[in-house]
Amino acid sequence: MVTVSPPKSEASASCAYALQLPHDVCAPRIARVTLRAVLTRHGLTQLIDTAELLTSELVTNAYRHSTGPATLRLRALPGARLRVSVWDANPHIPPPFDRRPGPLHPVPAEADGGRGLLLVCHYADAWGGYPLGDDLFGRGGKLLWCALGPQAVFGISDAP
């Protein structure tokens, strides 16, 4: 049997995945492993390191601040870019996602947490969050997302 794969540009442009994650301490690791496999398959390997960090932080936030499952969505965007979004059942939008992108305020040194989403904001090209109203299926909660491209790789760009 002969199989035909689309050219890499078409494959990466059509990349869209959703992964249901139970409320489990292993969820961030499962999300990272899945992300690595998807990006490798679709020729977006230059995004893996940064995307793993950002995905891990978003999924960890969902695990720590929600009591139910989460959903990870990955979507390739034009220009070898990626959008990562994580839904969870808690409608509270945490800082710094609760305000427009702009200057980031440091987390106090004595704080127990709050640095993970700052990493997302720092390394992502774009980010945001919004609460979701209840729908016919009873899903409310929130969606946090970020987008990154080849230039967002840990702040390194091709510019001199």
Average pLDDT over residues 83-95: 91
Q: What is the pLDDT of residue 1?
A: 42
d(CA 5, CA 41): 11
3-state helix/strand/coil string of 90-112: CCCCCCCCCCCCCCCCCCCCCCC
Average pLDDT over residues 34-58: 95
Asked whether residue 21 is assigned to any structural domain, the reply reads no
> Each residue of 1-41: pLDDT tens digit?
444 444 555 444 568 999 999 999 999 999 999 999 999 99
Asked whether residue 160 is assigned to any structural domain, the reply reads no
Share of the chain above pLDDT 90, in %: 53
Q: In this structure, what DSSP letter does residue 36 have? A: H
Q: What is the pLDDT of residue 29?
A: 97
Residue 118's nearest CA partner among 110, 130, 106 is 106
DSSP letter for each residue of 108-149: PTT-SS--HHHHHHHHSSEEEEEE----TT----EEEEEEE-
Asked whether residue 140 is assigned to any structural domain, the reply reads yes
CATH number, position 107: 3.30.565
**In 3-state terms, what secondary structure has residue 1?**
coil
Q: Which domain does 38 fall in, by range?
A: 27-154
**In 3-state terms, what secondary structure has residue 80?**
coil
Average pLDDT over residues 131-146: 79
Neighbouring residues of 137: CB distance < 8 A, sequence distance ≥ 6: none
**In 3-state terms, what secondary structure has residue 61?**
helix
Asked whether residue 87 is assigned to any structural domain, the reply reads yes
Q: Is the pLDDT of residue 132 over 70?
A: yes
Check if the beta carbon of residue 145 is closer than 8 Å to that of residue 153.
no
Q: What is the pLDDT of residue 11?
A: 45
Average pLDDT over residues 93-97: 80
Q: What is the pLDDT of residue 150?
A: 82
Asked whether residue 11 is assigned to any structural domain, the reply reads no
Q: Is the pLDDT of residue 152 over 70?
A: no
Partner residues linked to 144 by β-bridges? 86, 129
Partner residues linked to 129 by β-bridges? 144
Q: What is the pLDDT of residue 32?
A: 97
Q: Is the pLDDT of residue 82 over 50?
A: yes
Question: Which of 27-31, 87-91, 152-156 bottoms out in mean pLDDT, i.e. has the lowest?
Answer: 152-156
Asked whether residue 84 is assigned to any structural domain, the reply reads yes
Domains identified in the chain, total number: 1
- The sign of the torsion formed by the CA atoms of 95, 66, 17, 32 equals positive
Q: What is the pLDDT of residue 118?
A: 82
